[in-house]
Amino acid sequence: MKHLPDFRSPAFLREHLLQTMAFYDERVIDPSGGLYHFLRDDGTVYDRHTRHLVSSTRYVFTFANAARHFPEHPQAAKWLETARHALAFVENVHKDPASGGYTWLLHWEGGKKQVVDATQHCYGLAFVLLAHAHALQAGISEARRGLDATIGLMEQRFWQAEAGLYADEAAPDWQLRPYRGQNANMHACEAMLAAYEATGDAFCLNRATTLAESVTQRLAAQAHGLVWEHYHADWSPDWNYNRQDRSNIFRPWGFQTGHLTEWAKLLLTLERLTPDAPEDSWMLHRARDLFAAAVQSGWDRHHSGLVYGFAPEGDPATDTHMKVCDGDKYHWVQAESMAAAAALAERTHDGGYWDWYDRIWLYAWEHFVDHQHGAWFRILTHDNRKLTDQKSPAGKVDYHNMGACYEVLGALERLNGGASIAA
């Protein structure tokens, strides 16, 4: 039997983070501004000019966290400089001075910007906020101004007080469109939690709490206790949105295995940060329920790994018998689920969650981790065959799996009584 690493070892997690960073590092920096977003398995850049707001902001996250968590590493100062470089591109190129918003998709060549898609997305603003929050935590003090401004923009343009949720999408002139979605609100919750950790501003924690309650309690009550993705303008479930479109990576149909576990992780983060949270909190109950549903319906018992999505066999509004609707395996689903398993193990001291953590990590280690070039493959078929050599197209940048490793390191440190687990 081949030797396997100890997936619960801080040393292993730190080494894996450094190996993943090494895949990106110098090769993604564009001296003319920002970073390259499209990389093949071997690290070759296959599109030097398309820039997506999600990748631009997630690069700030990855480089800022590397600098923050590995301060003694020879590359730490360079990583911090790269985080500043990435954040400057978000603020100076993606940001549109006319509308105050951020360009969703653009073409960047010769130091010049050409707008490809000017749609205003709350999902995008959530990642702008997340980028500023993690930059600030890494010591980039100028990020505070952008953090506050982004919260103001989200509140002004997308907040719907009567729903306790953010609207999803607007035209370039900020006219709201009717689509509503949970995904933007989930990442807004994530960003508000990060902003609270960066600033201590109680507004951010309160907003994260409202979002979590709205999605995982009120909206979930309309969907068998789970988190449906798509809604009409009145926040009633849209059971058919994108039902026939498997290609939409931001708005897929069905219950998303990885979003259920991602919410479980966020709920436990929210509970940990909430002063005087009761021992038997609603956040813990909901986290356990969502994780249980995800692994029960999402774990592939034949080929291992967690599938992308599942849904009722019949009418989604009434049928509670679930079947897989998209059996492909995505990197981020495995990553978020292992982070959630570790968070539940830390919170409950239930060894069954560590068993899930090890099971998911083993699957990812065998099928998703690229042991030759570094980083993770993006997507596999249901039986674990690679679909593409495009390791990191727009939106990936290994934010999910690196973020999961940092989450697990934090959980292990807290279990160790707060003692440092740095190498």
Q: pLDDT tens digits, residue range 38-97?
A: 999 999 999 999 999 999 999 999 999 999 999 999 999 999 999 999 999 999 999 999
303 noted as active-site residue: no
Provide the domain count of the chain. Answer: 2
Q: What is the pLDDT of residue 422?
A: 46
Q: What is the pLDDT of residue 3?
A: 84
Residues 134 and 247 in one domain: no
Q: Which helix (H) or strand (E) holds 299?
A: none
Residues 268 and 152 in one domain: no
Q: Which helix (H) or strand (E) holds 101?
A: none
Tokens 């910007």, located at residue: 113
The answer to whether the CB of 80 falls within 8 A of the CB of 138 is: yes
259 noted as active-site residue: yes
The answer to whether the CB of 168 falls within 8 A of the CB of 121 is: yes
Q: What is the pLDDT of residue 368?
A: 98
pLDDT digits (tens, 9 = 90+) for 312-344: 988 888 988 999 999 999 999 999 999 999 999
Residues 171 and 243 in one domain: no
- 155 located within any domain: yes
CATH code of the domain covering residue 66: 1.50.10.20
Is the pLDDT score of 423 beyond 60? no
Q: What is the pLDDT of residue 420?
A: 52
pLDDT digits (tens, 9 = 90+) for 88-122: 999 999 999 999 999 999 999 999 999 999 999 99
- 135 located within any domain: yes
List 134, 259, 331, 367, catalytic entry: 259
- 247 located within any domain: yes
Domain of residue 107 covers: 47-181
CATH code of the domain covering residue 394: 1.50.10.10
Q: What is the pLDDT of residue 337?
A: 98
pLDDT digits (tens, 9 = 90+) for 282-294: 999 999 999 999 9
**pTM exceeds 0.95, yes or no:** yes
- 168 located within any domain: yes
- 33 located within any domain: no
Residues 252 and 174 in one domain: no
Residues 146 and 295 in one domain: no
Residues 175 and 303 in one domain: no
Is the pLDDT score of 247 beyond 70? no
Average pLDDT of the chain to the nearest whole number = 96
DSSP secondary structure letters along 129-194: HHHHHHHHHTT-TTHHHHHHHHHHHHHHHTEETTTTEE--EE-TT-PBPS-EEHHHHHHHHHHHHH
The contacts of residue 22 (CB under 8 Å, 6+ apart) are 374
- 265 located within any domain: yes
Is the pLDDT score of 1 beyond 70? no
Percent of the residues in the chain that have a pLDDT greater than 70, as a whole number: 98
Average pLDDT over every residue of 398-413: 98
Residues 243 and 157 in one domain: no
pLDDT digits (tens, 9 = 90+) for 359-368: 999 999 999 9
Is residue 233 packed enough to be buried (19+ CB in 10 Å), middle (13-18) or exposed (0-12)? middle
